[in-house]
Amino acid sequence: MVIHKKDGSVFKLNGPNEIMFTQEVWNSFKTHNLSNLSNCKMESNIPHVILGKKKIVEEKKIIEPIKEVVVEEIIVEETVVEEVKIVEDKKKTNEFDNFKKTIMHCALAKKVEVKDDLYGETVLKVKFIDKFTFESIVMNKNDFVLIFWTKLDNLTIGSVLYPQDDSKRWWEVREIEDVPGGHKITCCITRNTPAF
């Protein structure tokens, strides 16, 4: 089946290049400015050409008379230096070094009571006072709850956390429980998304 153009002519995808019909054969070309090609010399692996012949010039070396060298004896007194032993402190290991640690970015929250002068009502508002990062060990994580362990003492309820992992979620601290060696923190999803 033949495909036609709008004007009715046959549509061709590929065909021979029309310029190739008038191409001349390479046996009739002429060279210009190549008369010094026989004098060219290639140097090392660099593909540049040096035109012309190199003239080899021998330099005459003048030999200077040998001067007498006086050698003086220098006596060096040896002093014995006592070796000082450097004792390196090995890092103290604890039972939590073998667990995978997750970096948490934290916006520390402080609850502030705000009193409305007009109506006399007091409302608790959350104010973010500090930003920092710390290490934690994630104990449990699902779509709604994040539970982790940390040695950090200054976390407060209402603080917003952003773990440096694949979850890409902000979490709000809801519960802080003291456990041996640190604190167990329970978090839930939050709508507060401060920049760290």
Write the pLDDT tens digit of every residue in 59-94.
Answer: 666 667 766 766 666 676 666 666 655 555 555 566
Which pLDDT score, from 0 to 100, does residue 85 have?
Answer: 59
Residue 51, pLDDT > 50, answer: no
pLDDT in tens, 11-29: 887 777 777 667 666 666 6
Own/partner long-range contacts of 138-143 (Cβ < 8 Å, ≥24 apart)? 138/100, 138/102, 138/163, 138/165, 139/184, 141/167
pLDDT in tens, 98-151: 788 899 999 999 988 988 888 889 988 888 899 999 999 999 999 899 999 998
Query: In this structure, are residues 149 and 183 in contact, taking their beta carbons and an 8 Å threshold?
Result: yes
Residue 167, pLDDT > 70, answer: yes
From 29-43, 112-126, 163-177, the region with the lowest mean pLDDT: 29-43
Place 168 in a pLDDT band, splitting at 50, 70 and 90. confident
